Structures are given as C-alpha cells and as structure tokens.
C-alpha cells in the first residue's frame, strides 16, 4: 500500500471519529462530513499535510469560540457550514521542524494584518484552532489547523485559458498581494531571519525555518551559507556525485562559500531588510472567482518564512513566469534577456520576441 494511504482511516478517525477532534474540541455534530482535498492515494511523494473539507449538516446557529484564545485564532462565525482542516504528516520528507504549525499560524496572522486593509473580503483564511506537533511538555503529538473555507477555484485550473487582458488583471492583483506582504512592518520581537513561533506571552518570535529545520540566522547571508553547506553535505552521501571532490570542484565550491558569498552580499545594499515570504506563491495556491475575476484566497503557508524580499523570487511564481531558476545557456537568448530585465529593469520600448541577443 502507498505510504500516503496506509493510515487513511486512522486519519479520518482522528478528525471525525467518536472521540475525534471535531467533536472533542469543537463539539461539532457526529454526522459532519469530512472529505480529503487534492489527495491521490497513489501519489509517489509524501504529502506535507493531509487537507480535508469539513461540511456541517447545517450552518452553525451561533459562533463557536472553542479555540479563540489560541494565538492567531478567532471564533468560528455563526452561519458557517464549511471548514478546512489541515493535518500534518509526521512522515513528510521536507518538514521536520518542531515549530512547523506555529510558523504557519504566525505567518498567516502577519499576512492577514498585511492584506486585510486592502482586500475586502479577506484573502487570508481565518484561523479557528490549531495544535503544534510538539506538546508543552516537549512530547510529539499530532499537529493540525482548522481554518476558514475560502471561496473560489484554484487559479492554475483557469490561467492558461484566460485572455491577455484577464491575465493582466490577475497579475496586477498578485503584485498587490506581494507588495502588501513586503510592506508590512514586522513586530520588534522578530529579530532574525528564518521561521517563527510564539513565546510564553504569545508574542511572535524568530525560530528555525521549517523547510530546513535550521536557523534562525542573524543575517540573510548566514541563511544562504547554512543552506549551501547543507547541500554540500548531502553530496557526500550521494554515490554518484561523491561529494564533488573530483577535479577540484568541491574546493571551488567551498572557496565560494568562504569568500565569494560574503563578497556577493556586500553588493546587496538592502541585505538587512526582512519581509514576510510566502515561498510557494503559485497559481495552485491562489483562489479566484470566475465571475468577477477577483482573487479570493491566498492559501498554504507551509513553506513561509521571514527573509529578504528577494527570496520570494527564488522559490515562488512557478507557473507565473516570475521564478528565478538556473541561468539559461547561451542558446536561450530570449530567456537570458528576460532574466536580465527582471534583475535590472525592462527596456522601453520592449524588443521584438526574436531580436538578436548579442550583448545580453
């Protein structure tokens, strides 16, 4: 049986069994319907979370504040008939940090503060309850988040079929989202780069980055240094690469980390700037309303962190044409020209699509 499907029923029982989370913590009816979302039992990759749609047999006749005193949470409003529950996968390959739930909750709290003033209704889901993957006693436990069910369909289902003017309108909204996240003044309690958690007074503070389980770091440079060293360490266990020791490659890489990296960061005048980074801002994590063309939801803050604003462009925007990957070869003239323009500004007027790339 596939690793994602081996405890399928146990997961449902945890959520909606006789003594399940929904009944035990929130007092929801036993005949509440719980259905997996975007779930493929044969998926070869391990899901970071198992996501469920919770459908109540009838709308709530009064608000439910069972967890409203938890950091970042509000009461479930009266009239609610649908919810989303995210259950962490303890077997996930890339999400081992003990603060992964706290990080997501803190990031969503900050994102809501950044975007709510300029988006009506809200695009960041309201939080109704959560539990981290580690108890107050430091013991492992099941992590989960109960949050608002947002309206709309995933943007990736419709983007390719849109007319140019429709795409321009969507991209303008995405730019507004991004600017809102980057413009938010962060709390003074966030002093470093990396992930987030809550202290004993429920202040949001710096913590390890969930995708690396390392940090927090005193600088953007230190974050890159750690990730590069982690990548090199992984090559030591690879029987094909063998640490890249042949032909002096490893020596050159280590020399870059020691000398080239600090020199590169000296040229980044804004290197001390920090911002909310979604880190997975892609069409499948954006919901929009087909009739109005309005973005209705920004979801899945699993990879989010606090880093320099440039980091968003290194890991987000797949499917939107804005992600920086590896530098293209000499034959990819248009792609090289586009990357140069993204870094240094677009020429006016724009060149023809097939214009010679000499000198780029």
pLDDT digit string, tens, across residues 302-349: 999 999 999 999 999 988 877 777 666 665 677 778 778 877 888 888
For 193-248, the pLDDT digits (tens) are 999 999 999 999 999 999 999 999 999 999 999 999 999 999 999 999 999 999 99
CB 122 within 8 A of CB 116: yes
Instruction: Give tens-digit pLDDT for 142-176.
Output: 999 999 999 999 999 999 999 999 999 999 999 99
Would you tell me how many other CB atoms lie within 10 Å of the CB of residue 260?
Answer: 12
Q: In the chain, pLDDT over 90 holds for what percent of residues?
A: 84
* Full residue range of the structural domain in which residue 164 is found: 8-207+276-310
- Rounded CA Rg of the chain: 22
How many separate domains does the chain show? 2
- CA-CA-CA-CA torsion sign (41, 43, 49, 55): negative
Q: Is 173 helix (H, G, I), strand (E, B) or coil?
A: helix
Residue 359 belongs to a domain: no
User: Do residue 264 and residue 295 come from a single domain?
Assistant: no
Mean pLDDT on 127-131 = 99
Query: Is residue 215 in some structural domain?
Result: no
Q: How far apart are CA 222 and CA 234, in angstroms?
A: 19
Task: Look at residue 58 in the predicted model and tell me its pLDDT.
Answer: 98
For residue 140, the 8-state DSSP code is B
Q: pTM value?
A: 0.93
Are 178 and 264 found together in one domain? no
Same domain? For 121 and 136 the reply is yes
Task: Give the single-character DSSP code of 352.
Answer: P
Environment class of 110 (CB within 10 Å of its CB; exposed 0-12, middle 13-18, buried 19+): buried
Beta bridge partners of 288: 153, 295
In terms of Cβ atoms closer than 10 Å to its own Cβ (0-12, 13-18, 19+), residue 163 is exposed
- What percent of the chain clears pLDDT 70, i.e. is strictly above it? 96
- Residue found under tokens 């146990």: 10
Residue 196 lies in a domain: yes
Q: Residue 360: what pLDDT?
A: 46
């Amino acid at each position: 049986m596939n690793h994602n499907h081996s405890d399928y029923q146990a997961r449902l029982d945890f959520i909606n069994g006789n003594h399940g989370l929904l009944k035990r913590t929130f007092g929801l009816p036993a005949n509440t319907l719980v259905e997996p979302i975007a779930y493929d039992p044969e998926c070869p990759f391990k899901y970071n979370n198992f996501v469920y749609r919770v459908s109540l047999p009838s709308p709530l006749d009064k608000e439910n504040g069972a967890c409203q005193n938890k950091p970042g949470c509000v009461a479930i409003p009266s009239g609610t008939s649908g919810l989303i529950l995210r259950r962490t996968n303890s077997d996930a390959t890339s999400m081992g940090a003990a603060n992964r739930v706290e990080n997501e909750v803190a990031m969503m709290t900050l994102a809501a503060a950044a975007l709510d003033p300029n988006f009506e209704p809200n695009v960041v889901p309201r939080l109704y309850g959560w539990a981290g993957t580690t108890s107050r006693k430091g013991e492992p436990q099941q992590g989960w988040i109960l949050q608002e069910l947002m309206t709309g369909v995933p943007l990736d289902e419709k983007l390719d079929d849109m007319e140019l003017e429709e795409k321009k309108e969507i991209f303008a909204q995405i730019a507004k989202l991004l600017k809102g996240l980057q413009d938010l003044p962060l709390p003074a309690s966030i002093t470093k780069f990396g992930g987030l958690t809550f202290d004993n007074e429920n202040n949001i503070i710096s913590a390890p980055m969930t995708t690396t389980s390392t940090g927090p770091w005193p600088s953007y440079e230190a974050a890159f240094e750690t990730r590069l060293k982690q990548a090199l360490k992984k090559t030591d266990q690879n029987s094909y690469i063998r640490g890249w020791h042949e032909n002096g490659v490893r020596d050159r890489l280590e020399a870059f980390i020691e000398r080239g990296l600090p020199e590169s960061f000296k040229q980044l005048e804004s290197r001390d700037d920090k911002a909310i980074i979604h880190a997975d801002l892609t069409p499948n994590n954006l919901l929009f309303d087909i009739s109005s063309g309005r973005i209705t939801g920004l979801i899945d803050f699993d990879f989010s962190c606090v880093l320099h604003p440039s980091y968003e462009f290194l890991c987000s925007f797949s499917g939107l044409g804005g992600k920086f990957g590896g530098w293209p070869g000499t034959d990819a003239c248009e792609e090289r020209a586009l990357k140069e323009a993204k870094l240094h500004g677009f020429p006016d007027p724009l060149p023809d699509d097939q214009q010679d790339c000499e000198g780029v």
